Structure 1
Amino acid sequence: MHLSTVETRLAYVVREPSHCRFNIEVAHWPTQAILSEHLAVTPPVELRTYIEPGSGNRFLRFDALPGPLEVHYKADVEVDWTPPPDDLAQAPVNEVPDALLPNLLPTRFCESDLLAGFAREQFGALPPGIARVRAVADWVRRNIAYRPGSTTSTSTAQDVLAQRAGVCRDFAHLCIAFCRALNVPARLVAGYVWFDEPPQDFHAIFEAWLGGRWVLFDATGMAPVDRLVRIGTGGDAKDVAFSTVFGAMEMTGKLVSVLEHDPR
C-alpha cells in the first residue's frame, strides 16, 4: 500500500471564448482511495463534472473567457495494488468479453492492423500469456529510445516504431498496438507517479487483459506500476488527454508534483 500527494497547476492565456474539458482528477478506481482533494479554477467559472461509466474517469468542463486562466488540483491518495501471478493465460478471442472487443481493434494512435506482421514475426513464436506481454514491454524498452521532444501529439505507434524514439505515451501506444496484433486486449492508462527523471509530468503506461483481469505494464521502466495513481483509462491517448480545448488557448505553465509518503 502506498500513499501519495499529487498536484498539478495548469496556466493558460485564453485568446477567445473557449470551452474546456480536463481529465486531471484522480479516477474512481477499485485499487485506489481518495483521502482528500481540492480543485480550484481561477478566475472562478461555473464548473460541470461527470464520471465516465465503466472507466471511472472524471472530467471537468467549463467555459473560459479571454484572459489568464489557472487550474489547480491536489489530492492525497492511497493505492493498494496486488502483483499479478506469473502464470496468467491469454484468453482465446472467442472468450474475450463483449465489452472488451474494442480493445482488440486498431485506434487512431495504435495501428495494430498495420503492425500485425511485425508483431507476429517478433513475438508470435513465444507462448501466449503474461510472459509474452512482458516480452513485448521489454522489447520496446530495449529498442525505443526515451527522447523528450522526439514526437508530437499526433505521432502514432507506427511513427514511433519507424523512428525508434518517443516518450511514455509513445512507448504505451506501441505496446498496445503489438498486444492487439497478438489478439491480447490492451489499453492506455494515464496517471501520476514519482520518478527521478525527466521532471515530473503526467505518465502513461498500458494494461493487458490476461487471466480474466487487467494487468499493468510500464515499458519505459521509469516507475513501479504499483505506485501509479490512475487518472484515466482509454483505448489510446485521445481518450485520456489531460486537456481538450474547443477554442483558442495558449498554455503558459504546467507543474506536476508527486510526493510519496511512508504508509506506516
Structure 2
Amino acid sequence: MKFFTTAELNYQVNGPGTLILNVHALRTSQQAVSSETLIIEPYHKLEEICAVNGENRLIRLKLTENGPLRISYQAIVDHTYTAKNPAELFETPVDQLPPEILPMLYPSRYCQSDKLGRLAGHLFGHLGSAYEKVVAIVDWIHTNVEYRSGFSNVETSAYDTVTQQAGVCRDFAHLGIALCRALSIPARYFTAYAYLLVPQDFHACFEAYLGGEWILFDATKLVPINGLIKIASGRDAADASIANIFGDIQFSSMAVRCDLDDSNFVPLYQ
C-alpha cells in the first residue's frame, strides 16, 4: 500500500536556538520510503542524525536569525502490514531477552510501571499468555479511559491517566506501556502518521515485544492498525517527541496529513 504523508510545522524564532525534529518516516522491514522532501523556509543548514538508542531519524537545526520558520516534510511510503498468528506471539523470559530490549522493561518518566504492579496483576495476572494479557490491557484501557482531546498536558503520566480515567492517544499509549511492563512484558512508545484519523494529527500507540518481535497495539482504536506509518519509537514520549526546542523558539501551528491511493484497502481495527 502506498501512503502519502505530509507535515508542516511553523515556529517563531525570537533568539538563537536549536530545533531537533523527528518527522521523517522510518525505513523498516514493513515500510520503505520511496521518496521524500524536506523544505525549510527560510533556508537553514541542517544536520541529519540517528538516535543513539534507536532507529529514529532526527534533524537538527541551528537557528540564528529571528523571524518565522516553516518546515515542510512530504514522503511516499510503501507500507505492508502482516497480521500475526497469536499462537506464535509467545512471551520471552526476562533472562533470555536481548540486552537492547531490557530498557523497555523498566519504569520511565511517563510510564511508572513500578506504581501499577498491583493493578496490573489484579486485572490481568490471571490470564494465560502474554498476548492475551496485552489484548486485555488494550481492551481495558479502551473501555475505562475516555478519549478527550486536549484533556492532558506534557506532564501527564500513566499513573495520572489511571486516576483521571481520561486522556489523549499519548496517554493511552503510556498506560498500555506501563501495564505491560508491570507484567514483565517489554513495551515501547510508537509515533506515526495515521490514515483515517479525524482530525488529522500525529498519532501515538505502543508496541509489545512478543514472539521475538515488536507487535503494534492501539488502545484508542481510532484508526486502522494497518494504516499507521511509523515515525519513531522509544521508552515513552520523551524519546519520541516530534520536536524538541532549545532556546527562544515558539511553536505557532501544525498541519498533518496521511492519505492512501488504494481503492482495495481494507481497514483492520483491533
Shorter-chain-normalised TM-score: which range?
Answer: over 0.9
Matched, 1:251 2:257: no
- 1:14 Cα deviation (Å)? 1.0
> What is the CA distance between 1:169 and its match in structure 2?
0.8
Deviation digits for residues 17-72 of structure 1 (CA, Å, limit 9, x no counterpart): 11010000111211101111110111100110012356321000011222100110
Please give the alpha-carbon distance, in whole angstroms, between the structure 1 residues aligned to 2:124 and 2:167. 21
- How do residues 70-85 of structure 1 correspond to structure 2 at under 5 angstroms? 70-85=70-85
Distance 1:218 1:196 in 2: 12
What pairs up with 1:111-126 in 2 under 5 angstroms?
A: 111-126=112-127
Distance 1:139 1:147, change over 3 A: same
- 1:132-151 counterparts in 2 under 5 A? 132-151=133-152
SS state at 2:113 partner: coil
Distance 2:79 2:169 in 1: 21
SS of residue matched to 1:239: coil
Structure 2 CA distance for aligned equivalents of residues 206 and 57 of structure 1: 15
- 1:189 and 2:190 aligned: yes
Alignment size in residue pairs: 262
Corresponding residue number in structure 1 for 2:59:
60
2:268 is matched with none
With 115-124 and 173-182 compared, the bigger mean Cα shift is at 115-124
Tell me if the contact between 2:125 and 2:183 (Cα under 8 Å) persists in the aligned partners. yes
User: Using the alignment, how far apart are the partners of 1:129 and 1:263 within structure 2?
Assistant: 36
Q: Which residue of 2 aligns with 1:262?
A: 262
Q: Distance in 1 between matches of 2:44 and 2:133?
A: 48
**Mapped partners of 2:68, 2:151: distance in 1:** 30
> For residue 111 of structure 2, what is the aligned residue in structure 1?
110
Query: Is 1:242 aligned to residue 246 of structure 2?
Result: no
Contact 2:17 2:62 in 1 (8 A): yes
What secondary structure does 1:113 align onto?
Answer: helix
Question: 1:106 and 1:120 mapped to 2: Cα distance?
Answer: 16
TM-score (norm 2): 0.94
Cα distance in 1 for residues equivalent to 2:195 and 2:230: 13
CA contact (8 A) 1:28 1:57 kept: no
Distance 1:160 1:129 in 2: 23
| Most deviating of 94-103 and 155-164 | 94-103
Query: 1:162 corresponds to which residue?
Result: 163
Encode CA deviations 1:52-99: one digit per residue, 9 max, x unaligned: 356321000011222100110000101112111111211222122121
The amino acid of 2:236's aligned partner reads: D
In structure 1, how many angstroms separate the alpha carbons of the residues matched to 2:80 and 2:258? Answer: 17
Pairwise CA distance, 1:129: 2.0
Residue equivalent to 1:209:
209
Aligned-pair CA distance for 1:195:
2.2
| Structure 1 residue runs without a partner (length 5+) | none
Which shifted more, 253-262 or 51-60?
51-60
C-alpha RMSD of the superposition: 1.3
Q: In the alignment, residue 35 of structure 1 is paired with which amino acid? A: S
Shift in alpha-carbon separation, 1:53–1:84, aligned structure 2, 3 A:
farther
| Percent identity over paired residues | 38
TM-score, length-scaled by structure 1: 0.96
**CA-to-aligned-CA distance 1:111-132 (integer Å, 9 cap, x gap):** 0001111111111111132111
